Structure formats: C-alpha cells, structure tokens
Amino acid sequence: MPTLPADRLEKIAATLLQGAGASEEEATITARHSIGANLAGHDSHGIIQIPVYIDRVNKEHIVPGAPFDIIREKPTTTVIDGNWGFGYVVSERAMQITIDKAKKNGVAATTVFRQSHVGRVADYPLMAAQEGLIGMMTADSGRSPKSVVPFGGREPRLGTNPISIAMPSNLDGPFHIDMATSAAAAGKLKVAQTRGTSIPEGWVLDKDGNPSTDPFALKKGGSVLPLGGPEGHKGYGLSAMVEVFSGILTGLGFGVEPSGRHNDGVFMAAFQVDAFKDLEEFKQEVTEFAAYLKDTPRAAGFDEIFYPGELEYLRTQKGLVEGIAVEDGTWEKLVALAKEYGVAEQLEMS
C-alpha cells in the first residue's frame, strides 16, 4: 500500500472532486473531513470514500452547488434542507449556525435533511467543543438501503446510526465519543473487502442469519448486528432513538425508498457551558476527570487506559508525521479517476 503525507492526499481528494464538478470550496471541505478521518484512524470514512462520492455525483445523487435552504427557524432551532448537497459542506454550515444560536441563547438544536454522506460524525460536535460549547449529533442514512438488524432479527431495518458528543476541556486531544450503534460501521466492511481481510465474529450475519466473518456477507444478502453482542438490545435501542431524531424528526421518515439515494439526516445540538457552570472551571474539571480515568489500575492485557477520544488524537499526531497508507484497490481507483480528469501528471500519479 502506498503511504502519502496527509496534505498531499488531501490535495488529491480535492482535485478529483473538482474534476467531478464540485466547487473549490466544496472539494476543499470534503477533502479536509475525509483525510481527517484517515488521520484519526477511521479509514472507512477517509480517502476510500472519494470514488464513492464521485460516483454519486455522476448519478446525480450528490448535487454540486446545491442550495442551502432554511425552511423553519426559531431563536434556538433551525430546520435545513440541504437539497442533496455535499453533506460535509451542509452539516458544517448547519453546526456553525447552531453554535452561534447557542452562544446567544444558551442552547440550540438543528435538523438537516436531503444531504449526502456527512462522514465522521465527531467532526461537527468537535466544532462546538473548540468554541467552548458542548456539542452533540446523531445521524442516519435516511431512506437509503439499510444494513442493521433489530436485536433478534435477520433482515435489516436500520442504518449504522452513529452518535457523537464532544466536551470542551484543557486536554491536548478533545474529550469526545463517536460511535456507531451497530457492531461495526458499514465502511469498515468496505475496508476489509479492499484489504482482503476477514472481519471479527459478532459483526455480521450471513443471508441465512448465521454469524459470519466474511466482509462481503452484507453484499451477499446478510446484515450487520446491533452494538452489544449478547446485550445487543442496548445498541438496538440506541439505534432506534437515533432513527427518530435523525429520520422521523427531520422529516425523512423511516424504511427504504426505491431510489436507494443515500441521504444523511442529522440532529445536532450545542449547549453553552456558561449557562450551567463557569466554562473555565468546567474545562479544568473535565481535564482532571480524564486524568482520573487514566490513573485507574489496569486489567491484565492492557498497557494504558485512554480517555474517550484520546486514541483518535494520538493517531492523528502519528499520521501527520508518518503519512497515511492507502489500500492498493483504492489507489488504483484514484489513479483511474486522475487519468480520466487529465490531472494524473499534476498529482504525480503513474
């Protein structure tokens, strides 16, 4: 697998997206979020997705330059129609509106519908945390094909339905969670497929409802399990609530529509810490809480305890120094697209 510096990979992604018809702003924002996911160790949402986005642009499932419409608004709430624009662009703008309203009114919440894939959900609550607010976001895949079974089921009814919450602190790396409510994100199956590796048991069922380690099981009519293994009813319950927040509340609804058009419905919120407690005191206590967690005596087989979000920060620092490895299959797709758009020489591809 070739290994490239993050900034070069980001440039490649942006150039290819512009070749597909994205504006410079849309391409830059989408590339930044995508390569940021690689840096954080979430390759399923990284450069591997760029050919997917370009394919969706070609199918008109993503609309470059789409309008950004606020269709309902109150001092603390906003409802946004992304008109099938790039999800990164739409949701970044939506979170900034949410942050600005929360700073003025103490709390704010926003729903967004009809936008494309938003990528790593943590990116948006982290915007709030960086400005001294608590941020949260839930997302689902709208009425595009589903992959996750309800607990005890064998036919998909839900998406991977992630949730993220981020807290301001004085830590070097942000204190946050970003988790699918399924046993694995669908993108992780794609990474395993591209790398030719098996997946852990407990992630998927085959078409007959039996446990499988085949990363292609979902494509063959199988399904993804909810988070929690034997206690999967907990992940299922969380997933159902995310579906209500991000599907029903946004106006997308639930289930699958014939078009199969991928759509990320999201609910996001921001909370002004100062409305509840002095911000600097809160940040310091979160910092001390993280240290308290890390100081826990370790169980057998564990060398270190990490606070929530720390691993992503450490991976990012390492990736900025060592670069990002790209699967051969993904690299071949990038090379083919670069040749198609006449930018292979510019990107130094062969």
Per residue in 118-176, pLDDT (tens digit) is 999 999 999 999 999 999 999 998 888 889 999 999 899 999 999 999 999 999 999 99
All domains of the chain, ordered by start, with CATH?
63-183+229-277 (3.30.1370.60), 184-224 (3.30.60.50)
Q: 344 pLDDT band (50/70/90 cuts)?
A: confident
pLDDT of residue 15: 96
Q: What are the DSSP E strand ranges found in the chain?
A: 3-4, 69-74, 77-85, 107-115, 133-140, 163-167, 175-179, 204-205, 211-212, 223-224, 265-272, 324-325
CA within 13 Å, CB half, 258: 0
Average pLDDT value for the chain: 93
* Residue found by looking up tokens 């826990």 in the block: 296
Q: 350 pLDDT band (50/70/90 cuts)?
A: very low
pLDDT digits (tens, 9 = 90+) for 79-132: 999 999 999 999 999 999 999 999 999 999 999 999 999 999 999 999 999 999
Q: 202 pLDDT band (50/70/90 cuts)?
A: confident
Quick one: 122 exposed, middle or buried, by C-beta within 10 A (0-12, 13-18, 19+)? buried
In the chain, % of residues over pLDDT 90: 79
| Rounded mean pLDDT, 235-251 | 95
* Residue found by looking up tokens 């064998």 in the block: 154
Q: 347 pLDDT band (50/70/90 cuts)?
A: low
CA distance 162 to 140: 7
Nearest to 113 by CA among 87, 89, 136, 81: 81
Least confident of 198-207, 227-236, 321-330: 198-207
CA distance from start to end of the chain? 14
In the chain, % of residues over pLDDT 70: 98
pLDDT digits (tens, 9 = 90+) for 43-65: 989 999 999 999 999 999 999 99
What are the residues facing 108 on neighbouring strands? 270
pLDDT digits (tens, 9 = 90+) for 13-48: 999 999 999 999 999 999 999 999 999 999 989 999
pLDDT digits (tens, 9 = 90+) for 244-293: 999 999 988 888 876 667 788 999 999 999 999 999 999 999 999 999 99
